[in-house]
Structure 1
């Protein structure tokens, strides 16, 4: 019962108690939302910059924040290093680094450097996924606690990018994409496998045609009725698992072969979207078995290409397309409410503040703030002048943004 309680609360009241932290890629609630409001709306390369610190190499991961620490994963490509870097939250000074050297060949794309997975932390330990090099756990001073280097290789033409999710006493990880695709639950204290679900893989590399498939989605834990459900998106389907046992609870067809976006949940409904101009769907959670016919709310056979994940606010779903178009859909029907073009191409995921404002960055370093409302209103466009792939992290009224050259801390002055 204690374990069930921990899992049930993991992304609810516990997150609220630590609203100043951003412990995982998509924040304390796993869905891009923060309880903070009054965040900075305007900044530049000099205005409202609390600090910036140069990084040793490019990178796509998002910072996470706990207490006085800002943590990022970082590859140094020429040296084969895969690192976890820790910075002082107030000053930006680097405090420590930990990591490994891994020089074995690993397939990825030129736009996706190694270490694109973001860390996850509970304030006592930090979990990082270094793809084929394994899963590592460090304490808050960078000392290794455990590692899992026995999980096998990652192999996909576009590389890896899934991030660990900490909930209760366990770590959930989508070990994929590629032939070796497994959803794991690890004991966060020891790294022991508590359960695993093997998912069919498929074509994923050079010389295998262009019918590639794979999921870069991270699982999302939610309370659905009286039970906990671990929501997940795989190629061609959305589904849910019992987070304690790993038993599959339900599945719904309707996605396509490539899944870039992580699931969302609101009002009893899971929202799942494919990338590569694939399908999207909404399905009622809480079912049993194949719920395609009875619980699917809507399904769209083709939506615009998008890499980043969206947010849900007051019955509407917001997301940015790869081409930099802000989209709003009615959650009940899937009907498009607006499409508004922003500047540049976008791969970052949206962040939603408590006062209803969406934050995201494009690949040329422009950061957008717009209202989460069915009538589009762009509040500001703020340029940092460098490439940005990762998403924005929020902590104590500050924004933490990882570019290809610098790590930025933005705050009102």
Structure 2
């Protein structure tokens, strides 16, 4: 065989091996705070089960201030939303994924919070690999290319009216099917001087042109909730079932599905609040899997599984099941769907439950032993589930048939509190955000 033929054969064999390589060997990005599938999971493999501040740390980057936002990752870039505590400004940041070096940092606003519970940088950025969008609780919304050049910016409060929330608003934007989506589910009257008094205050959904920021559609989303129960901090979640794609929207004592092309409401179910309690704000985003859509009632209320594929206004016959009150419940954390199971984190009881979507069977409930409240949302890959408590301890749980706590790592610093960022998983690494640091953790 001559050299030319040998080279051709070798190239063919290498190409065949690459084509037959398992998907697990192909690194995935993490473009949205709930991951590439909008359910908290990814197909990444080779992730560490044990680590610490000094073990399996590829790099650590200092951040100018805290945020509940989750980092998003695309190829060699990590995007982070933050406040600058000293300058009292809002920041959009991009880091080199390989070494943690700051590639660019842009000021996006002035002022960082309305209360001590959170700050304006709580929403997570989102990217499509060409652009990255940063939204903040004061209404600032800015688009950049991956090199940090600003493409456009606008302020949602200035364009649509002052937000009417008791606390600092914190919903993250979603990019899907060529559109940027944002939900603003708020009170219908001013609260603490917030919200305009010169007309009705609507709760609404927005579809925006990602390249220009211009409105593609705006849909008012009515509800029967009262006072604080109208407020939602959830994120629009794309979901496809039986060939129909929709945006799942939770808040205002109900859950709805909308056509992403025009925002039209396709169905709704509610309520988890039949007595119209007035302080049941909603934080967890919806999650779908196994033919159902989960909506988490707040304050110890059950989790409700709505049958996917509904039309119009659904009554309770549209429910597949309802969890046991307070036992399987989530007041803040968004549940995880991973390898055919829901994992529901109960922040008050500090337990994690594994639930079968089709039957509501609770296969196990495990006590994390956490010494602090847990309000981060769990993420998963490589047979492991990751989440962090308020002071920065990271828990690693086996996603198996029995509850098994594999590891606990103290990643927070002295004085860290109210940490809520979820752990992003991409390119074989974990991205763990504390109050002042971002850790990239991976096997050596």
TM-score range, shorter chain: 0.7 to 0.9
In structure 2, relative to structure 1, the CA distance for the partners of 1:96 and 1:18 (3 Å cut) is: farther
The answer to whether 1:247 aligns with 2:264 is yes
Secondary structure at the counterpart of residue 317 of structure 2: helix
Instruction: Give the direction of change, closer, same or farther, for the CA distance of 1:202–1:85 in structure 2 (3 Å limit).
Output: farther
CA shift at 1:335, angstroms?
A: 4.5
CA distance in 1, matches of 2:145, 2:174: 16
- Post-superposition shift, 1:311? 1.2
Match of 1:280 in 2: 303
CA distance in 2 between counterparts of 1:144 and 1:401 reads 27
Give the whole-Å Cα distance in 1 for the aligned partners of 2:324 and 2:206.
29
The reply on whether 1:320 has 2:345 as its aligned counterpart is: yes
Residue matched to 1:127: 133
Determine helix, strand or coil for the equivalent of 1:131: coil
Gaps of 5+ in 1: 1-14
| Shift, 1:315, TM fit | 4.3
Q: How does 1:219-238 map to 2 (within 5 A)?
A: 219-238=236-255
Match of 2:218 in 1: 196
What do residues 187-224 of structure 1 show as CA deviations (whole Å, max 9, x unaligned)?
111111111222348999xxx7xx54421111121222
From 387, 396, 406, the equivalent of 2:437 is 406
Alpha-carbon distance in structure 2 between the residues aligned to 1:106 and 1:405 = 17
Distance 1:235 1:295, change over 3 A: same
| Aligned counterpart in structure 1 of residue 312 of structure 2, from 289, 293, 310 | 289
Give the match for residue 62 of structure 2.
54
- Take 1:252 and 1:76, find their aligned partners in 2: how far apart are those partners? 41
Measured at CA, do residues 106 and 200 of structure 1 come closer, stay the same or move farther in structure 2, by a change above 3 Å? farther
Aligned to 2:282: 259
Residue by residue over 1:273-331, the C-alpha shift from the partner in whole angstroms, topping out at 9 and shown as x without a partner, is 12222342111121211122332112348434531111123543212222321122332
Q: Give the Cα–Cα distance (whole angstroms) in 1 for the partners of residues 433 and 47 of structure 2.
A: 17
- 1:151 counterpart residue number: 160
User: Which residue does 1:382 correspond to in 2?
Assistant: 409
Alignment of 1:23 with 2:43, yes or no, is no
- Do the aligned partners of 2:291 and 2:357 also contact (CA within 8 Å) in 1? no
Could you tell which deviates more after superposition, 300-309 or 368-377? 300-309
Give ranges in structure 2 of 5+ residues lacking alignment: 1-22, 189-201, 274-279
Q: Distance in 1 between matches of 2:281 and 2:164?
A: 15
**2:334 aligned with 1:309:** yes
2:119 aligns with 113
- In the other structure, the counterpart of 1:370 is 397
> What residue in structure 1 maps to residue 73 of structure 2?
65
Match of 2:385 in 1: 358
Look at both structures and tell me which one has the larger radius of gyration over its CA atoms: 2
TM-score normalised by length of structure 1: 0.88
Give yes or no for contact 2:92–2:108 (8 Å, CA) kept in 1. Answer: no
Pair 1:35–1:285, CA change in 2 (3 A)? same
What secondary structure is seen at the aligned counterpart in 2 of 1:294?
helix
CA distance in 2 between counterparts of 1:172 and 1:391 reads 21
For residues 171 and 44 of structure 1, the distance between their equivalents in structure 2, rounded to whole angstroms, comes to: 37
Change (3 A) 1:31 1:177: farther
Of 89-98 and 266-275, more deviation after overlay is shown by 266-275
What TM-score do the two structures reach when normalised by structure 2? 0.82
| Higher mean C-alpha deviation, range 155-164 or range 362-371 | 155-164
Q: Report the CA distance shift for 1:372/1:292 in structure 2 as closer, same or farther (over 3 A).
A: farther
2:67 pairs with 1:36: no
Asked whether the 8 Å contact 1:118–1:164 carries over to 2, the reply is yes
Task: Kindly provide the CA deviation profile for residues 333-381 of structure 1, in whole angstroms up to 9, marking residues without a partner as x.
Answer: 435443322113211111121x332111111211111122342111111
Corresponding position: 1:161 with 2:170: yes
Alpha-carbon shift at residue 153 of structure 1 (Å): 2.6
Deviation at 1:49, TM superposition (A): 0.8
1:87 is matched with 95
2-structure distance, mates of 1:261, 1:290: 22
